[in-house]
Amino acid sequence: MTGMRTKYFILLFVVIAILAGVSCRQKKDGNASGKGKIYTCSMHPEVLRTEPGNCPICGMKLVEKKDVIAGNADSALANIVSPTYQKILSGIQTTKPVSDEFPIVIKTNGTITYDTRNINNISARVGGRIEKIYIRYKYQEVVKGQKLYEIYSPDLVTAQQNLLYLLENDNSETQLIEAAREKLRLLGMSNAEIKDVEKSGKPNSQITVYSEYSGYVVNKDFQDAENTKSSMAAGKTTTDADGGLSIKEGAYVEQGEMLFKIVNNTTVWALLKIYNSDYAFLKTGQKTEIFTGDKENPAFTGTLNYLDIFNAGNDKSVNARVYVDNGSKKFKIGQLVTATVYAGKHNGIWVPKASVLDLGKRKIVIIKENGYFGTKVVTTGLTYSDRTEIKSGLDTTNVIASNAQFLIDSESFIK
């Protein structure tokens, strides 16, 4: 019995000694580990480093991992249970809103097209048969006073006979005679032709029609570039591109029927495309420079003359017009151009465009308060280049995240 008791005490002593050694080693290791700092990523807590740096997964700055037990238990617990949609721990770049006055310079592109104010209709003043056409091809250049065509008209012959009858049988009726002459003028006869009829005493079987405009002859179904696009979008077609004139010799025309058109390109339009984001800055009268090709100097400097309210079939842009003097014929119809519009200056509080997150019904920024990032609803104004104007919700003392887009996939934050 004595031997067994001795063995029991020896075994108990060995166990106690082992336990004491293990306890000392753990205490020593704990003290040693407490001397170093551990750094981790707030977005990827599985990343642990003994030195500061950036997260190898997302690139964010590593933060020091605090010992919750050694610190303030209440404060640590508050950080842990704080909802993710209220506070975000992160090392993202920050910025402050800036109150400044920015010069607004809008660059865009466009096309040279006809000035519709210089598209003139040539219609038949009297019905009859086209005897001769002096215009042989489309886009033939004509000048004011040039012969266009000759026409035979029974109505015109009758009107001449009435004038001759009055002159021969009742020349005292000056009012009736003058009315007969006026009717011939309205039917297209010139004063010289009327005098020839009175002098010869015989009506002319056909008269010559002269151009009242200078320009280029096109078919009656000619459309300017803007209307052509609209017609094509609506499924309509035009025959103006077939190369020849639609009116022929020997054709019968009715009074008032349009025969062809004469367009003048001494003034043209620069039809510019204005995107919706730039529309609010523009108004008529602003200085505009038109450039051709890759030239640095403007080919024409004028003003913005007209802004469309909307553009049918295109919800991303509208058209603006600049009336361009083309007396030197340097601009060609259909030519591509670029333009610079100087839209003055705009004063406001501006933040980077990427710092504003559009959630549909509201817009927010990520604001830094008390060392944490949270959300703040703001009201925005104009957006220009890479800047967005803040109407309300921020002032120049606030600190916000430079880029709020990293939260676009954070569902709990957005909700």
Domain chopping of the chain, boundaries = 1-33, 36-81, 94-101+347-414, 105-114+265-346, 119-262
- Strand 267-275 with 128-133, pairing: unpaired
Domain 94-101+347-414: top CATH class: mainly beta
What CA–CA distance (Å, rounded) separates 402 from 311?
Answer: 35
10 pLDDT tier (thresholds 50, 70, 90) = low
Of 65-74, 330-339, 362-371, least confident by mean pLDDT is 65-74
45 SS3 class: coil
Inform me whether the pLDDT recorded for 354 exceeds 50. Answer: yes
Tens-place pLDDT, residues 224-252 = 555 544 443 434 444 444 557 888 888 99
Domain 105-114+265-346 has CATH 2.40.30.170: yes
Residue 324 has a pLDDT of: 94
Alpha-carbon distances of 191 from 8, 185, 238, rounded to whole Å: 148, 7, 38
Residue 296 has a pLDDT of: 85
Residue 235 has a pLDDT of: 40
Is the overall model pTM greater than 0.75, yes or no? no
The answer to whether 272 and 321 are in contact (CB under 8 A) is yes
Inform me whether the pLDDT recorded for 198 exceeds 70. Answer: yes
- Of 354, 376, 380, 377, give the one whose Cα is nearest residue 92: 354
What CA–CA distance (Å, rounded) separates 37 from 8?
Answer: 46
Between 192 and 42, where is the model more confident?
A: 192
Residue 55 has a pLDDT of: 87
Tens-place pLDDT, residues 355-408 = 898 888 889 898 888 877 788 899 988 887 788 889 899 998 899 888 887 655
Of 7-16, 142-151, 203-212, 231-240, least confident by mean pLDDT is 231-240
Inform me whether the pLDDT recorded for 337 exceeds 50. Answer: yes
DSSP bridge partners of 220: none
Residue 212, burial from CB neighbour count under 10 angstroms (0-12, 13-18, 19+): exposed
Alpha-carbon distances of 111 from 48, 279, 290, 342, rounded to whole Å: 60, 18, 10, 19
405 SS3 class: helix
Inform me whether the pLDDT recorded for 74 exceeds 50. Answer: no
Between 10 and 357, where is the model more confident?
A: 357
Residue 173 has a pLDDT of: 82
The answer to whether 270 and 321 are in contact (CB under 8 A) is yes
Reading the block at residue 363, the tokens are 């817009």
165 SS3 class: helix
Long-range contacts of 203-206 (CB under 8 A, 24+ apart): 203/157, 203/160, 203/161, 203/164, 204/157, 204/160, 205/152, 205/157, 206/131, 206/150, 206/151, 206/152, 206/153
Domains 94-101+347-414 and 105-114+265-346 share a fold: no
Reading the block at residue 314, the tokens are 């295109």
203-224: average pLDDT? 86
Reading the block at residue 276, the tokens are 């919706």
102-115: average pLDDT? 90
What CA–CA distance (Å, rounded) separates 270 from 167?
Answer: 56
- Of 280, 262, 304, 303, give the one whose Cα is nearest residue 135: 262
128-146: average pLDDT? 90
Residue 289 has a pLDDT of: 94
Alpha-carbon distances of 345 from 101, 103, 192, 205, 277, rounded to whole Å: 6, 4, 61, 68, 16
Alpha-carbon distances of 164 from 105, 181, 209, rounded to whole Å: 69, 10, 22
Residue 406 has a pLDDT of: 65
Which amino acid appears at position 121 of this protein?
A: N
What CA–CA distance (Å, rounded) separates 300 from 291?
Answer: 7
Between 45 and 108, where is the model more confident?
A: 108
108 pLDDT tier (thresholds 50, 70, 90) = very high
Please list, residue by residue across 325-364, b when 16 or more beta carbons sit within 10 angstroms of its beta carbon and e when fewer do: ebeeeebebebebbbebebeebebbbbbeebbbeeeeebb
76-88: average pLDDT? 47
